[in-house]
Amino acid sequence: MNNDYEVIFAIVNAGYAQDAMHVARKHGARGGTIINGRGVAREKEATFFGITIHREKELLMLIVEKDIRDKVFHALYQEMGMQQKAQGIIFSLPVEEAAGLAQPTEGK
């Protein structure tokens, strides 16, 4: 167990998490987890035939080494941030302990 990692969260519009993962991989991330969800920030949601419509979201969670965190974080925001179609919110948190993570192999 160690604490040489940070977790990066990218909350994007549905359909963009795989694109976000591709961006993260280009900058050194090895893998991530995608969780489906829905946004509930607005008090007045749109309705359609009396059914409340919530914007579908995807959450990409990446645990990355601290030394690549800035590259991955800034690339995600540049390509997936609020000014893009993905309208991503990206944030990170320190990881106090991590176990069971695959170690990078030589040359990768």
Tell whether 87 is covered by a domain. yes
Q: What is the pLDDT of residues 78-108, one digit of tens each?
A: 999 888 888 899 999 999 888 777 766 655 5
Q: What is the pLDDT of residues 51-67, one digit of tens each?
A: 555 578 999 999 999 99
Percent of the chain surpassing pLDDT 90? 60
What pLDDT is attached to residue 100? 78
Tell whether 106 is covered by a domain. no
Residue 23 · residue 76 · CB < 8 Å: yes
What pLDDT is attached to residue 40? 74
DSSP string computed for 93-105 = EE-S-B-SPPPPP
What band does 71 get if pLDDT is binned at 50, 70 and 90?
Answer: very high
Spatial distance between the Cα atoms of 34 and 70, rounded to a whole number of angstroms: 20
Tell whether 108 is covered by a domain. no
- Average model confidence (pLDDT) across the chain: 86
CATH number at residue 10: 3.30.70.120
Tell whether 71 is covered by a domain. yes
Please give the tally of structural domains in the chain: 1
Residue 49 vs residue 59, higher pLDDT: 59
pTM, rounded to two decimals: 0.81
What band does 16 get if pLDDT is binned at 50, 70 and 90?
Answer: very high
Q: CA of 84: how far to CAs of 13, 49, 68, 81, 89, in Å?
A: 10, 30, 23, 6, 11
Which structural domain range is residue 71 located in? Answer: 5-40+52-94
